[in-house]
Structure 1
Amino acid sequence: MKNLLDAEKERAALVPPQHRDADQVLGGIRQKLNDGIVSKKPRADFAGAEAALEKARADHGSYVAMANLLAAYVQAGRDTTALETAIAQALGIAVQPVQPVQAPVQAQPQARAQQPPA
């Protein structure tokens, strides 16, 4: 099939655009591409792969939109708990209650007993 596609491109480059429909050689190559000489399975596989790619793009786009919305919430200083829960549910992740994070308490350094210089 690749050879036929290459031959079609080469012949189309040689024939002026206004004469391509009338060119018998180019017409024969195109006929072979469209007829049963070339297996239809690669075309079906390609169409299936193309559909899967479009679905992945659509899914990916929604994930990017959710991440951008979350970033906007964070930049605006808004509470993101409800949005994070909605995103987790959309992704199919089990939502667990989140405990607020508290800053660790730092121990005060103890004053060392000063010893008189010897």
Structure 2
Amino acid sequence: MAILALAVFGTTTQTWINVRLDPAAAANADLHVQGSKAATAVTALALVALAGGLASSIAGKVSRWIIATIIVLASAGILIAAVTVLADPLGAAQGTIAATTGISGGQAAASS
């Protein structure tokens, strides 16, 4: 569990979305959005899964079932957050676009 949680956590440091701020521009209009910015919940939920995996090694029988339920819910949250980014990459990148350019709602093209 710890290895899987760390792998998910590691993916959030990679580029999830490539944005062209002005689709008509030829160059210098690219923005790369990391997973931690596109789906902020993934980082937190991966940390929950990591802590749960480590806690289950010292927990009793009943506690392990509770921890397993928490890990399953965290995993479901990770999947939902990732699918949301895939379904609407431009929407997921809007916060980063606004922070970088100071303009929200401008014209941009995004791909995941």
Question: Could you state the TM-score of these two structures normalised by the residue count of structure 1?
Answer: 0.29
Where relative contact order (Cα < 8 A, 6+ residues apart) is larger, the structure is: 2
Question: Could you state the TM-score of these two structures normalised by the residue count of structure 2?
Answer: 0.31
Name whichever structure is richer in strand by fraction. 2
Q: Tell which structure's C-alpha radius of gyration is larger.
A: 1
